[in-house]
Structure 1
């Protein structure tokens, strides 16, 4: 996970679209990302998802219909997201959210590949 540096893009606006279960984030450098709740949930920076070291990641399954119930800023560097499945332990730094947006296509395909390899489902 990328750390926050003085050069990290700053967030300008955050909008939660409840019906489409999408978090829209715009940055001062002009970048704008639409991040689905499911994508944010399966890439949570929490220890529950990422594990406590390389190779300890836990594949998240059955998250297709997950929604976001709350957003809470943490200082000037992160966002705490509460999901409707009860998960709320990941702190999403602005730079990590930027990374998730910038690499969304590749990360999502990697997730789908890992699901397929495990014989698991998004349902």
Structure 2
């Protein structure tokens, strides 16, 4: 699966990704930052690239952090790399990782069925 476009909506603090199978994903920037797949954020190389359950990254009624993307770059033909306002630049978000992280109800239900 590949994106057919990528939109960083800074006003809504969302990354919007339409996919070539017709699906559309909307990722809150907070979800993307908290799910960073790099070794530093995942706790070591053995955990690098593992996809956390998006539901585990949501803490109800917690104060929202203000995640700001300074820059967003394509990495080859397979991923995105964010530069966050906290200076973090190490996460490479592959298309497969992003699709697996999709927080929509349809994808959440699919993850539950597959678990």
Q: Give unpaired runs (5+ residues) of structure 1.
A: 1-8, 55-59, 107-123
TM score, norm. by length of structure 1: 0.67
User: Match for residue 13 of structure 1?
Assistant: 5
Runs of 4+ in 1 over 4 A off after TM superposition: 102-106
Is there any run of 5+ residues in structure 2 with no aligned partner, and where? Answer: 48-56, 58-62, 109-115
Indicate if the aligned counterparts of 2:26 and 2:103 stay in contact, CA closer than 8 A.
Answer: no
Q: 1:102: how far off?
A: 5.3
> Is the alpha carbon distance of 1:18 and 1:102 closer, same or farther for their aligned partners in structure 2, counting shifts above 3 Å?
closer
Corresponding pairs, count:
93
Shift of 1:10: 1.1
**1:51 pairs with 43, 52, 56, which one?**
43
Cα gap change, 1:78 to 1:87, in 2 (>3 Å): same
Structure number with the bigger relative contact order (C-alpha 8 A, sep ≥ 6) is 1
3-state SS of paired residue (1:39) = helix
SS of match in other structure, 2:4: strand
TM-fit CA distance, 1:82: 1.0
Residue pair 2:82, 2:91 contacting (<8 A) in 1 also: yes
Shift of 1:86: 1.0
Q: Determine the C-alpha separation between the residues in 1 that align with 2:26 and 2:69.
A: 14
8 Å Cα contact 1:71/1:80 also seen in 2: yes
Give the structure-2-normalised TM-score: 0.71
Aligned counterpart, 2:33:
41
- The two structures, once aligned, show a CA RMSD in angstroms of 2.4
